Amino acid sequence: DGGITQSPKYLFRKEGQNVTLSCEQNLNHDAMYWYRQDPGQGLRLIYYSQIVNDFQKGDIAEGYSVSREKKESFPLTVTSAQKNPTAFYLCASSRAGGPGAFGSGTRLTVV
């Protein structure tokens, strides 16, 4: 089955720690995206990549980093510089001009 796989489903981070969220897609989509969702709010764009080895900052990129070494993979690192990282993180992918498909999300909690 084609789709987007995010892992882990739940993640706990200690203060000052970097954590990496995984996103893999087998839809052969060129573009991939990371969104953050806070309770009762819409999705806000963190980073996006329209092609391998290239990515751009979204609206709330501070404290996050990404890489796009393979078409299928777009991992997101939440660094210690992100002061309020507790949120639901969603990865998406799309063809050029096509609809976005979303993964099932990773819930990150700071402990």
Partner 1 sequence: QQQVKQSPQSLIVQKGGISIINCAYENTAFDYFPWYQQFPGKGPALLIAIRPDVSEKKEGRFTISFNKSAKQFSLHIMDSQPGDSATYFCAASMDTGRRALTFGSGTRLQVQP
Q: Which residues of this chain interact with partner 1, rule CB under 8 A?
A: 4, 6, 31, 33, 35, 40-45, 48, 50, 56, 58-59, 90, 92, 94, 96-97, 99-105, 107
CB of 16 to partner 1, least distance (A): 28
CB of 111 to partner 1, least distance (A): 19
Q: How far apart are CA 39 and CA 28, in angstroms?
A: 31
Q: Minimal CA–CA distance to 110: which of 93, 91, 87, 94?
A: 87
CB of 12 to partner 1, least distance (A): 17
Residue with smaller CB distance to partner 1, 4 or 108: 4
Q: Minimal CA–CA distance to 34: which of 11, 53, 71, 6?
A: 6
Count other C-beta atoms under 10 Å from residue 56's C-beta: 11
